[in-house]
Amino acid sequence: MPTVYLNGQILPLEEARIPVMDRGFLFGDGVYEVIPVYSRRPFRLREHLARLQSSLDGIRLGNPHTPEEWEDLIGQIVARAESEDQGVYLQVTRGAGPRDHAFPKVVRPTVFILPLILTPPAPEWVERGVAVITAPDNRWLRCDIKATALLPNVLLRQLSVDAGCTETLLLRDGFLAEGSASNVFVVRDGLLLAPPKSNLMLPGVTYDVVLELARAQGIDHALRPISEAELRSAAEVWITSSTKEVLAVTTLDGQPVADGRPGPLFRRMHAAYQDYKHTVMRGKVRNE
C-alpha cells in the first residue's frame, strides 16, 4: 500500500480522505504535476515546481508551500516509495467550500502527493514507433495551465484508445497544438520543429529537455507554428512527456509517417535522452 501525503499528514493511501465538498471533486478546481523519479531523484524538480507556480498563478490560488517545503514533502514520499524509479503525482485544489462557482471567502487548499508506478516506454514502442490519430482540439484557451479539470483531454485520449492507438494529436485552426497528454515535435528537411509555447499547449518539461539536447547535439531546430499539411508530410513525428519520454510516431491516422519506421533523428534524440537520464541518475549533471 503506497504512502501518501495529504494536508500535513503522511499516511497509507487507503486512509487518505478528502471531504466530498472539495472543489477539486466538485469543479475540477485544482492543478497538478507528474514528476518522474529516477534512483530516488525527482527529475527536473525545479522546472516542475516552477510550472506548478505558474499553474497556481493561472487559477489565482496561492502556493501553499515554498519550493524548499515542496522538495521536502516530495522527498518524504520518494523515500517511502517501493521502487527507486517511479513518479510523483501532486495536486493542489482550492479546498472544500459551499457549492458555489465563486471562490470561497476563506480558502484552505488541499495538497495531495502520491507515488506513481512509472513504467518506461516498452522497448517495442521505441523500436517500432507508435500509432496516433488526430482530432480537432476542442479544449479551452488556457492549455498552458496544468489543470486537474481534464475531461476534454480524457475524451480526446479515449478516441485514440478506441482506435487502438497510443495518442491523439490535436489540431486547432489548421495547426498542431500538442497531444492529449504529450507535446509533439516534427522533423522536416533535417530540421527539428515544434510549436512555440503559448496558451494553446502545456509547456512540457520533457519538451524543454529535448530542445536542450537538440542544442547540445547540434541538431538544427526551430520553434514555429506547424500546419496540418506539414504534420502529414513530415519525415518524422515525435511525442514527448514525462511518462513517454521521447517516442517516434510511425502511423498517423492510419497512414505511415515517411517510411513508417522511427527516423534517424529520433534514434539520435532517444539515445541522447537515455544518456542524459542515466547521467542525471548518477548525479553527475545538473538536474533542475
Active site residue ranges: 146
Residues whose CB is less than 8 angstroms from the CB of residue 76 and which lie 6 or more positions away in sequence, other chains included: 5, 10
**Residue 202 makes contact with ligand PDD by CB under 6 A:** yes
Q: Which residues pair with 178 in a beta bridge?
A: none
Task: Give 202 or 252: the residue with its C-beta nearer to ligand PDD.
Answer: 202
| Closest listed residue to residue 264, CA positions, set 236, 234, 230, 232 | 236
CA–CA gap between residue 275 and residue 116 (Å, rounded): 23
Size of the site for ligand PDD (CB under 6 A): 15
CA–CA gap between residue 255 and residue 8 (Å, rounded): 51
CA–CA gap between residue 46 and residue 218 (Å, rounded): 25
Q: Which stretch binds ligand PDD (CB under 6 A): 18-26, 102-110, 118-126, 238-246?
A: 238-246
| Closest listed residue to residue 150, CA positions, set 253, 245, 24 | 24
Grid coordinates standing for 130?
Answer: 507508435
Q: Which stretch binds ligand PDD (CB under 6 A): 92-100, 120-128, 236-244, 251-259?
A: 236-244
| Closest listed residue to residue 21, CA positions, set 77, 100, 90 | 100
Shortest distance in whole angstroms from residue 194 CB to ligand PDD: 11
**Residue 55 makes contact with ligand PDD by CB under 6 A:** no
160, 242, 250, 287: residue in contact with ligand PDD (rule CB under 6 A): 242
Task: Give 153 or 166: the residue with its C-beta nearer to ligand PDD.
Answer: 153
Task: Give 63 or 243: the residue with its C-beta nearer to ligand PDD.
Answer: 243
**Residue 204 makes contact with ligand PDD by CB under 6 A:** yes
**Residue 168 makes contact with ligand PDD by CB under 6 A:** no
Angle of the 205-217 helix axis to the 45-58 helix axis, nearest 10: 130
Q: Which stretch binds ligand PDD (CB under 6 A): 1-9, 155-163, 213-221, 234-242?
A: 234-242
CB-side neighbour CA atoms (13 Å) of 165: 25
**Residue 195 makes contact with ligand PDD by CB under 6 A:** no
Residues whose CB is less than 8 angstroms from the CB of residue 11 and which lie 6 or more positions away in sequence, other chains included: 3, 4
**Residue 178 makes contact with ligand PDD by CB under 6 A:** yes
Shortest distance in whole angstroms from residue 184 CB to ligand PDD: 9
**Residue 205 makes contact with ligand PDD by CB under 6 A:** yes
Q: Which stretch binds ligand PDD (CB under 6 A): 66-74, 200-208, 220-228, 267-275?
A: 200-208
Residue type present at position 224: R
**Residue 90 makes contact with ligand PDD by CB under 6 A:** no
Q: Where on the chain is the footprint of ligand PDD (CB under 6 A)?
A: 34, 153, 178, 181-183, 202, 204-207, 240-243
